[in-house]
A and B are shown apart, each in its own frame.
Chain A
Amino acid sequence: MKWFNILRDRLRALRRRDSVINDIDREMRSHLDLQIEANIRAGMSPREAREKALRSFGNLNRAVDAAYDVKGGGLFETLVQDVRYGTRVLLKHKAFTAIAVITLALGIGANSAIFSVVNELLLRPLPYQDPERIVMLWEVSPDGRHQNTTSRANFRGWRAQSTSYEHMAAFSDQRLTLTGNFEPEEVSGQLALPEIFNVLGVQPILGRTLLPEDAQPNSPLVAVLSHGLWQRRFGGQASAIGQPIILNGRKFEIAGVMPPNFQFHIKQRSGTGRPAEVWIVLPMPSGTIEAERGRFLSTVARLKPGVSIDQAGAELRTIEARLSDEVPEFNKNYSAEVLPLREQFFGNVRRPLWLMLGAVGFVLLIACANVANLLLSLATSREKEIALRAALGARRSRIVRQLLTESLLLALLGSVLGLGFAWLGIKALPLISPRDVVSLHSVGLNFSVLMWTLGVSILTGIIFGLAPALHISRLNLNDSLKEGGKAEAGQATGSKRLRNVLVVSEIALAVVLLASAGLLIRSFIRLQQVDRGFNSDNVLSLVVRLPSARYPEDAQLVQFFNQSMERMRNLPGVRSAGMINFLPLYGGLGSNTAFKIIGKPLPEPGQEPNCDVRVVDAGYFQTLGIPLLRGRNFSDAEQREAKRVIVINEALARKHFPNEDPIGQRLDVAMFATPTLTEIVGVVGNVRYDSLTEEAPEAVYFPHPELPYPFMTLVLRTDGDPTAIAPAVQREIRALDANQPVSDVRTMDQVMSEAVARSRFNTLLLGLFAGLATLLAAVGIFGVMNYSVALRTREIGLRLAVGAQPRQVLLLVLKQGLTLTVAGVALGLLAAFALTRLLTSLLFGVEAFDATTFATISLLLVLVSLLACYLPARRAMRIDPMMALRYE
Chain B
Amino acid sequence: MPKDKADLLQGTLDMLILKSLSLGELHGYGIIQRLRQLSDEMLNVEQGSLYPALYRIEQKGWVTARWDVHETGREAKFYKLTRSGRKQLETQEASWDRLVLAITKVRQATT
Question: A480 vs B108: C-alpha distance in the bound complex, in angstroms?
Answer: 51
Cα A96 to Cα B75 in complex, Å, equals 54
Q: Which residues of the partner chain A approach B24 to less than 8 Å between Cβ atoms?
A: none
Q: Would you give the shortest CB distance from B83 to chain A, in whole angstroms? A: 11
Q: Who on chain A is nearest to B60 by CB?
A: A2
Is A63's CB under 8 angstroms from B47's CB?
yes
Q: Is the CB of B61 within 8 A of A34?
A: no
CB contacts (< 8 Å) of A69 on chain B: these are: 52
Stretch of A52-60, A134-142, A415-423, A526-534 on the interface side: A52-60
Segment at the B interface, from A23-31, A602-610, A854-862: A23-31
B77 to chain A, nearest CB (A): 5
With CB as the reference atom, state the residue of chain A lying closest to B65: A27
Q: Is the CB of B77 within 8 A of A60?
A: no
Bound CA–CA A33/B52 (angstroms): 19
0 or 1 for each of B39-60: is its CB under 8 Å from A? (1 = yes): 0000000111101100110111
User: Which residues of chain B have C-beta atoms less than 8 A from A37's C-beta?
Assistant: 72, 74
A885 contacts chain B at the CB level, 8 A cutoff: no
- Interfacial chain A residues near B28, Cβ < 8 Å: 27-28, 31
Best-buried of B59, B70, B76 by chain A (most CB within 10 Å) = B59
| Chain B residues with CB under 8 A of A804 | none
Which B residues from 12 to 68 make CB contacts under 8 A with A?
A: 27-30, 46-49, 51-52, 55-56, 58-61
Q: In this assembly, does A6 line the interface, its C-beta being within 8 Å of a C-beta of chain B?
A: yes
Q: Are A60 and B55 in contact (CB under 8 A)?
A: no
Determine if A768 is an interface residue (Cβ-Cβ < 8 Å).
no
Chain A's closest residue to B55 (CB) is A70
In the complex, whether A695 has a CB less than 8 A from a CB of chain B is: no
Grouping DSSP codes into helix (H, G, I), strand (E, B) and loop, the A interface class, with mixed when no group exceeds half, is helix
Closest chain B residue to A53 by CB distance?
B47
* Residue from A6, A9, A34, A66 whose CB has the most chain B CB atoms within 10 Å: A34
| A60 and B50 alpha carbons, distance in the complex (Å) | 12
Would A5 and B51 be within 8 Å (CB), given that A30-B74, A34-B76, A37-B72 are in contact?
no
A71: Cβ under 8 A from any B Cβ: yes
Minimum Cβ distance to chain B for residue A17 (Å)? 15
Q: Provided the pairs A30-B77, A66-B52, A70-B52 are in contact, do residues A6 and B59 lie with their beta carbons within 8 angstroms?
A: yes
Residues in chain A near residue B55, CB distance under 8 A: 9, 67, 70-71
Bound state CA distance, A173 and B49, in angstroms?
79
A62 adjacent to B56 (CB under 8 Å):
no
Point out the residue from A5, A66, A70 that lies within 8 Å of B48, measured CB to CB.
A66
Chain A residues with CB below 8 A from B58, complex form: 5
Asked if residues A5 and B47 are in contact (CB atoms below 8 Å), the reply is no
Q: What distance in Å separates the Cβ of B67 from its nearest Cβ neighbour in chain A?
A: 8
Q: Is the CB of B51 within 8 A of A27?
A: yes
A289 proximal to B (CB < 8 A) = no
Name which of A26, A30, A56, A69 has the most chain B CB atoms within 10 A of its CB: A30
Contact between A67 and B51 (Cβ–Cβ < 8 Å)?
Answer: yes
Cβ-neighbour of A58 out of B48, B59, B61, B76 (below 8 A): B48
Residue contact A58 to B60, C-beta cutoff 8 Å: no
Are B59 and A5 in touch, CB under 8 angstroms? yes
Q: Give bound CA distance, A2 to B61, whole Å.
A: 6
Q: Could you tell me the distance between the alpha carbons of A58 and B44 in the complex, rounded to whole angstroms? A: 13
Given contacts A31-B28, A34-B29, A70-B55, contact A57 B48 (CB under 8 A): yes
Closest residue on chain B to residue A30 by CB atoms = B76
How far does the alpha carbon of A46 sit from the alpha carbon of B46 in the complex, in Å?
22
Contact status of A67 and B52, CB under 8 A, knowing A5-B60, A58-B47:
yes
Contact with B along A33-76 (1 / 0, CB 8 A): 11101000000000000000000111110110011011100000
List A contacts of B75 (CB < 8 A).
Answer: 26, 30
Q: Which residue in chain B gives the minimum CB-CB distance to A5?
A: B59
* Interchain nearest-CB distance for A849 vs B (Å): 50
A1: CB under 8 A from chain B? Answer: yes
> What distance in Å separates the Cβ of B92 from its nearest Cβ neighbour in chain A?
16
CB distance from A586 to the nearest CB of B (A): 69
Given A5-B59, A30-B75; A63-B48 close (CB under 8 Å): yes
The complex places the Cα of A57 from the Cα of B70 at a distance, in Å, of 20
- Please give, as numbers and ranges, the residues of chain B lying within 8 Å of A66 by CB-CB distance: 48-49, 51-52
Q: Which residues from chain B contact A70 at a C-beta distance below 8 Å?
A: 51-52, 55-56, 59
Whether A30 lies near B27 (C-beta < 8 A) is yes
> How far is it, in angstroms, between the C-alpha of A66 and the C-alpha of B56 when the chains are bound?
11
Contact B60 A31 (CB under 8 A): no
Bound: A224/B61 CA distance, A: 68
Q: Which residues of A contact B30 (CB under 8 A)?
A: 34
A606-641: contact bitstring with B at CB < 8 Å (1 yes, 0 no)?
A: 000000000000000000000000000000000000
In the complex, chain A residues whose CB is within 8 Å of the CB of B76: 27, 30-31, 34
Asked if B51 and A33 make an inter-chain contact with CB atoms under 8 angstroms apart, the answer reads no
Q: Closest residue to A60 on the B side, CB-wise? A: B48
A323 to B57, CA, bound (A): 77
- Least distance between A3 CB and chain B CB atoms (Å): 9
Distance of A826 Cα from B68 Cα, bound (Å) = 73
Chain B residues near A2: list those with CB within 8 A.
Answer: 59-61
Residue of B nearest to A63 (CB): B48
Question: Which of B61, B74, B84 lies in contact with A33, CB distance below 8 A?
Answer: B74
What CA separation (Å) do A1 and B48 show in the bound complex? 26
> What per-residue 1/0 map shows which CB atoms of A5-33 lie under 8 Å from chain B?
11001000000000000001011101101
A522 to B77, CA, bound (A): 79
Smallest Cβ-Cβ distance to B47: which chain A residue: A57
CB distance from A403 to the nearest CB of B (A): 25
Chain A, 320-363, contact with B by CB distance < 8 Å: what is the 0/1 string? 00000000000000000000000000000000000000000000
Of A28, A34, A59, A60, which one neighbours B74 at CB under 8 angstroms? A34
21 of the cross-chain contacts (CB-CB < 8 Å) are: A1-B84, A9-B55, A27-B76, A30-B75, A30-B76, A31-B47, A31-B76, A34-B29, A34-B70, A34-B74, A34-B76, A56-B47, A57-B47, A58-B49, A59-B48, A60-B48, A66-B49, A67-B51, A67-B55, A70-B59, A71-B55
Which B residues are closer than 8 A to A by beta carbons? 27-30, 46-49, 51-52, 55-56, 58-61, 70, 72, 74-77, 84
| Contacts A2-B59, A28-B28 known; 9 new A-B pairs at CB < 8 A | A5-B59, A24-B51, A31-B27, A34-B74, A37-B74, A57-B47, A58-B47, A58-B48, A69-B52
Q: Which 8 A-B residue pairs are closest in the complex by CB-CB distance?
A: A63-B48, A58-B48, A34-B29, A70-B55, A1-B61, A5-B59, A67-B51, A57-B47
